[in-house]
Amino acid sequence: MSESRVGDVKHEGPLLRLEGITKAYPGVLANDSVSFELCVGEVHALLGENGAGKSTLMGILYGLQRADAGRIVFGGEEVSIAEPRDAMALGVAYVQQHFSLIPTLSVAENLVLALRFGGRRISLRDGAATVRELSDRYGLGVEPDVAVERLSVGEQQRAELLKALAREPRVLILDEPSSLLSPDEVERLGAVIRRLASEGMGVILIAHKLDEVLAVVDRITVLRRGRNVRTLARADATRELLGELMIGELAARVDQQPAPHAAAGDEVLEAVDVSVGGDRGQTAVDGVSLVVRRGEILGLAGLQGSGQVELVEALAGVRPVTGGSIRMNRRDIGALGVRARRRLGIGHIPADRRRGGLVGDLTIAENLTLPVAGERPFSRFGVLRRGAVSDHATELIERFGVRTPGPAVAVATLSGGNQQKVVIARELWRQPSVVLACYPTWGLDFAAAAAVHDELERQRDAGAAVLLASMDLDELLSVADRIVVMQGGRVAGEVDAAEADAKEIGLLMGGAGR
């Protein structure tokens, strides 16, 4: 598939043009006079780091936001898109990253709703038939009558795509479609996209990683800090050039070899045949065994839905284990809650700092104190000792380099990078013997991510056993000592980072190989 037709599609002139789009939000200029063009039958990638303005631009195209300045030209005529209805009327379909299907309804019912409010009346029976027809035509494998909440993540995403295709759009926007898919499924999706393009549909792919993009597209537009930095043909785009455009400096691309350090010590944390349930009642982790050693960073690689998050949460005591046991220093700690494990020396940097990590309305000091508020010196007889709390916070802010006017500021006002520093400070200040970090650099820019990596390495060098769960292979290869790959809730393989082959790991993550 990767060799087919890329770069030689005949373009018939612009189907869609965005000119001079500008949009500002409180505190940030999301789009700064951006121009973008899409031709008939073209697959055009919109590339940029998190926060570069890609989703804002597409949101404006789809009528979810209104631009402050600029115009949209469709098929040669200027149009006004005030709400999604207008965009849909023009033939624009948007498959977003978060799922938009109504979970308690079936795919067919969702389709009927979508079509009806797009102007086409269709009965429920016809809806089911349409689902089957589209599913067969594009090889999507979606069942019409099952409630969406009962489908797997991959199936849900294909159902989203099907819903968009049912309106026979002229322009299809896909937002980071492959973030949830295995390499196999990415290929399958790529084939579907090329098929759609060959039928004349214009496809816009929003992406922030380099690989998924290169294989399928005709042109790439790179956004950085709200500006269109360059639009180039696929043939001219190399990984290095794209990386440089996205980041803006000669990407000091992280050395893929970790710096040498002392060899790992004994086992500290052990998972023995652990099974854990997921949020929707599924088996998220199925009989996983692994070991984290003193003075080592163990990377846990996997895609979304591989069970990494659930496993880390189980190790931390946030999520109950449904089978197997967890041992620390040979002792079974399965019955212990989060507080008890923290006292044993387990620190947990959770996956989503905003929702699962910090309490936004509370101050930095309160967040830092929260897990230990009941202990001396922070309180006595249940009453908080403000002096101790404040001093503690000031000390940690300094030590972990949090940029803030003071400890009494609400954490919600901090930037992402600083918020993550607060989480890290909260978890690591007592030098835990085990550090469980789950997606710690998610949504952070290059400098902030590097700071996180530095801290993890510092902990490791001080003798902690570190588990780093991540979906980013580059990160794992440059930071971890060993890498365990999870796929579909099981361990798919284990490799030594120094000798590892990125492609092999990628295959393991996707479910191929061994």
Partner 1 sequence: MRLVRKRRGLLIAVGVPVLSVALALVVVGVLLAANGSDPVAAYRSMVSAAFGSTFALSTTLIKTLPRLLPALGIALALRAGLWNVGAEGQIYVGALAAAGVALFGPVIAFPVGAGLALVAAATAGAAWGAIPGALRAGRGISEVITSLMLVYVAIHLTNYLVEGPWLVSGSTFPATDAVPTDLRLPIIWSGTLLNAGVLVALAATAVVAFVLNRTVFGLQLRAIGSNDRASRVAGLSVGRVTIAAMAASGALAGLAGGIEVLGARGRLIEGFSPGYGFEAIAIALLGRLNPLGIVGAALLFGALDAGGAGLQTTAEGVSSAIVPITEGLAVVFVLIGLGIVEMLGRRREARAMLEGSQAADRPVTHDGLAGPVVGA
Partner 2 sequence: MHQDFLTLLLVAGVGLAAPLLYAALGELVSETAGVINIGLEGMMLAGAFCAVWGAFVSGSVAVGFLAAAAGGMLVAAVHGVVSLVFRANQVVSGVVLNVLVLGLTTFGIAVVFGSSLSRSVATMPNLRIPLLADIPIAGPALFDQDIGVYAVFAMVPLLVWVLKRTPLGLALKAVGERPESAASLGVRVTALRWGALLFCGLAAGIGGAQLTLAGLGAFTQNVTAGRGFIALAAVVFGRWRPVGTMVAVLLFATADAFQIRAQALGIHVPYQLLAMLPYLVTVVALVFVRGMRAPAALGVTPERA
Question: Which parts of this chain interact with partner 2 (CB under 8 A)?
Answer: 64-65, 83-85, 88, 94, 96, 99-105, 109, 112-114, 116-118, 121, 124
Binding test (CB under 8 A) with partner 1, winner from 56, 106, 156, 221: 56
Q: Which of 266, 439, 246, 280 is nearest to 350 (CA)?
A: 439
**Residues in contact with partner 1, shown as a per-residue x/- string from 281 to 320 under the rule CB under 8 A:** -----------------------------------x-x--
Q: Is there a contact between 409 and 419 (Cβ–Cβ < 8 Å)?
A: no
Nearer to partner 2, 98 or 330 (CB): 98
- Where does residue 488 fall: left (phi above 0), alpha (psi -120 to 50 degrees), or beta otherwise? left
* Residue 180 CB contacts under 8 Å (≥ 6 apart), including other chains: 153, 154, 157, 303, 304, 305
**Beta bridge pairs of residue 478:** none
What are 272's two structure tokens? 């023995």
In whole angstroms, give the CA distance from residue 314 to residue 327.
Answer: 12
**Residues in contact with partner 1, shown as a per-residue x/- string from 11 to 50 under the rule CB under 8 A:** -------------xxxxx-x-------------------x
| 514 secondary structure, DSSP code | -
Q: What is the separation of C-alpha 243 from the centre of its chain, rounded to a whole number of angstroms?
A: 18
> In the complex, what is the shortest distance from the CB of residue 124 to partner 1, in angstroms, rounded to a whole number?
28
What are 98's two structure tokens? 């978060």
- Main-chain dihedrals φ then ψ at residue 465, nearest 5 degrees: -100, 120
**Beta bridge pairs of residue 46:** 206, 221
Which run of H or E residues covers position 342?
helix 338-344
344 binds partner 1 (CB under 8 A): no
Binding test (CB under 8 A) with partner 1, winner from 356, 463, 511, 513: 356
Binding test (CB under 8 A) with partner 1, winner from 97, 322, 329, 394: 97
List the single partner that 84 binds among partner 1, partner 2, none, CB under 5 to 8 Å by kind. Answer: partner 2
384 binds partner 1 (CB under 8 A): yes
Nearer to partner 2, 120 or 399 (CB): 120
List the single partner that 238 binds among partner 2, partner 1, none, CB under 5 to 8 Å by kind. Answer: none
**Residues in contact with partner 1, shown as a per-residue x/- string from 313 to 342 under the rule CB under 8 A:** ---x-x------------------xxx--x
> In the complex, what is the shortest distance from the CB of residue 119 to partner 2, in angstroms, rounded to a whole number?
9
Binding test (CB under 8 A) with partner 1, winner from 44, 54, 392, 482: 54
Q: What is the DSSP string of 422-437?
A: HHHHHHHTT--SEEEE
- 142 CB neighbour count, 10 Å cutoff: 24
Nearer to partner 1, 68 or 145 (CB): 68
**Residues in contact with partner 1, shown as a per-residue x/- string from 476 to 495 under the rule CB under 8 A:** --------------------
In whole angstroms, give the CA distance from residue 171 to residue 75.
Answer: 11
Q: Is there a contact between 159 and 114 (Cβ–Cβ < 8 Å)?
A: no
Binding test (CB under 8 A) with partner 1, winner from 332, 361, 496, 501: 361
